[in-house]
Amino acid sequence: MANGVYEMMRGLWQTFRSAWTKPVTIQYPEVKRQVSKRYRGRHALKRYANGLEKCIGCSLCAAACPADAIFVEASEQTDENRYSPGERYASTYEINYLRCIFCGLCEDACPTEAIVLEDNYELSFETRESAIYTKDMLLDAVSAPNQPTPRKVKPGSFNRSVPEMKDPVD
């Protein structure tokens, strides 16, 4: 009998004590948990420091994609209308976020490091059509001032589509 009361009081003491501890709940929409450095969320298409797009429309990301989420269409470009270095640029770039599994193989496949998976995970849609992100939605804003794409450049200044490797062993 006394032992039973003791055990019950011990349990109640535990309950009482935990009432004063700090709650572990993260108040999600207001407070957001820091994602890990290696977290793979929504993609972004990057630009060089001079404002040109890194993506050259080679479709290697689409070939690497295990879920067939990426669609790339490349077009020819000239020095009058330059989007990216080299001969071609991505005129259409679409990612279907209801197919993408955020594996990061596109990031590995990209020869110019144009596509990067960033830390946005808030992707919910009311229709399937709205899950297809176009190039305008994915492309980063122009970092260099007054250097939008397409733009006119000096002929012959951006002939190499893939930048030279700083460290070929890497």
Interface residues toward other proteins, by CB under 8 A: 23-29, 32-33, 66-68, 96-103, 121-128, 131
CA-CA-CA-CA torsion sign (153, 155, 161, 167): negative
Place of tokens 């793979």: 40
Compute the least distance from the CB of residue 164 to other proteins, in Å.
Answer: 35
Write out the H or E segment, with its range, that includes residue 60. Answer: helix 60-64
Write out the H or E segment, with its range, that includes residue 133. Answer: strand 132-133
Nearer to other proteins, 1 or 26 (CB): 26
Compute the least distance from the CB of residue 153 to other proteins, in Å.
Answer: 37
Compute the least distance from the CB of residue 19 to other proteins, in Å.
Answer: 14
C-alpha to C-alpha distance for 82 and 25, rounded to whole angstroms: 50
Compute the least distance from the CB of residue 55 to other proteins, in Å.
Answer: 21
Nearer to other proteins, 52 or 100 (CB): 100
Q: Are 144 and 108 in contact (CB under 8 A)?
A: no
How would you list the strands of the sheet with 132-133, edge to edge?
70-76, 88-96, 132-133
Nearer to other proteins, 123 or 162 (CB): 123
Nearer to other proteins, 122 or 167 (CB): 122
